[in-house]
Structure 1
Amino acid sequence: MTLDKDYRQDLLVALRLHEISGERVGEVLAEVEAHVDETGEDPVEAFGTPREYARQVAAQLDPDTGKPSAVWTLGAALLVGALTLLGVTLLADGIGAVGEVSYTMRDLVTTLVVLVLAGGGVLAIFRAYASGMRRAGMIGIGVTALLLITATEVLGDLLLDDRTALLVVPRWFAIAAGAVLLLGSAGMLVRAIRRGRVVHPVSRSNGT
């Protein structure tokens, strides 16, 4: 008996949502495949549902064996989001400006709050899925994050100064800074992709 493709795919996704390294994911998948091939046992009976087994695997890991801490994961996600958001904003403002580029209190505060809410919302949804939460609960998290972001924009217009420039930079600086931030974000994403690449033990032993 061979491992069902749907079970394999669901297990892969569940493991990745626990921030387990691609190398360890490949090992777990190979172990499950080998067990099913040898015994013919249903994977759900042998290991439980993909979400259940992924939680068991994650509980046995620490940062040294392929699972980064929640603090590191949250920090990295927020940093990538911050670099991307600020990079796009600076680059677009610099390209569209005629002279200098200025930012008000509203611009600075709302950008920071939206960044935190968006990053926290995405991470919360991933965590909810990995823990087995029902779809309605995950949708509720997403809707709540969107409502808070909308409220931030509305309150920013009502309560914060959007006329007085607190930060003024030359057009060339905005463009250069935006490009540098986007390059930094891309570098972090490439590193995360390489770390998360699933590698089957057989492929690794063959040097591929």
Structure 2
Amino acid sequence: MMTLDKKYRDELTIALRMHEISGRRVGEVLAEVEAHVAETGEDPVEAFGRPREYAAQVAAQLDRATGKRSTMEVVASGAAVAALAMFGSDYLLDGLFADTATIPYTLKDTVALLTMLVLFVAGTMLFFLAFTAKARNQIYAGVAVGAFGLAIVSQIVIGSVFDDVTPLYEMPRWAAIAVGAVFALGVIGMLTRAIRRGRVVYPKAG
């Protein structure tokens, strides 16, 4: 009895996950491919196509009810995790290591964080498109790298343009620590949920 090649299975698993397909549905797809190969002995590439191509075909047939998150849901959850991580780490570290009882946040601080957030989320989404789009993959990858590079350059530009002296708002140390900790817990909770959703679960026999 022929078994599915580990390389093909691993590549297909990653490709399916790139399309934000649930772990349960990924398990069903893998089980179907493995069963077909075992029964027919056919090469999986000839039977189903290359992993990325077959993953795109599977994703096109799914919706939220059948195991695939919508694009808006993916973008929203990604932006939420990034925002909680960036602002949470900033507040938490400032609160833990500040020398004063009150921490000032300037216009430069706020604009720098928001710009980093937008470009980071955009770069991440483009990175996923580079692995899931049927065409122009290299263009998406190039623009994603450009977005990450621009995020770094923007911090230098913002530092020289925006006011870094006058406080836009202030926060007590204890509040910064508390808000940072809550945001960190939010990130942990969302990532834990994503890990559980993405865990591959094979269908039960019988």
Query: Cα offset for 1:167?
Result: 0.9
* 2:60 corresponds to: 59
Question: Structure 2: 5+ residue runs without aligned partners?
Answer: none
Question: Structure 1: 5+ residue runs without aligned partners?
Answer: none
Q: TM-score, normalised by structure 2?
A: 0.94
Instruction: Write out aligned runs for 1:1-208 (5 A).
Output: 1-98=2-99, 99-131=101-133, 137=139, 139-202=141-204
Runs of 4+ in structure 1 off by over 4 angstroms are 132-139
CA contact (8 A) 1:51 1:131 kept: no
Query: Cα offset for 1:110?
Result: 1.1
Q: Which amino acid aligns with 1:156?
A: I
CA contact (8 A) 2:130 2:138 kept: no
* C-alpha separation in 2, matches of 1:145 and 1:189: 24
Q: How many pairs are equivalent?
A: 204
Query: Cα offset for 1:154?
Result: 2.0
Q: Could you list the per-position Cα deviations for residues 81-122 of structure 1 after superposition, in whole angstroms to 9, with x for gaps in the alignment?
A: 110111111000001112211100010011011011111101
Query: Cα offset for 1:149?
Result: 0.9
Q: Could you list the per-position Cα deviations for residues 122-164 of structure 1 after superposition, in whole angstroms to 9, with x for gaps in the alignment?
A: 1211121122668854652343013211231122122211110
* C-alpha separation in 2, matches of 1:40 and 1:134: 34
Query: Cα offset for 1:201?
Result: 0.8
CA contact (8 A) 1:51 1:132 kept: no
Q: Could you list the per-position Cα deviations for residues 31-57 of structure 1 after superposition, in whole angstroms to 9, with x for gaps in the alignment?
A: 000000000000001000001100010
Q: Which amino acid aligns with 2:161?
A: L
Say which SS state the counterpart of residue 108 (structure 1) adopts: helix
Q: Which amino acid aligns with 1:6?
A: K
Q: TM-score, normalised by structure 1?
A: 0.93
* C-alpha separation in 2, matches of 1:139 and 1:112: 23
CA contact (8 A) 1:27 1:200 kept: yes
Deviates more, 1:130-139 or 1:140-149: 130-139
Identify if the C-alpha distance between structure 1 residues 113 and 74 changes in structure 2 by more than 3 Å, giving closer, same or farther: same
Say which SS state the counterpart of residue 115 (structure 1) adopts: helix
* C-alpha separation in 1, matches of 2:56 and 2:9: 15
RMSD (Å) for aligned C-alpha atoms: 1.7
CA contact (8 A) 1:117 1:149 kept: yes
* C-alpha separation in 2, matches of 1:17 and 1:149: 23
Say which SS state the counterpart of residue 102 (structure 1) adopts: strand
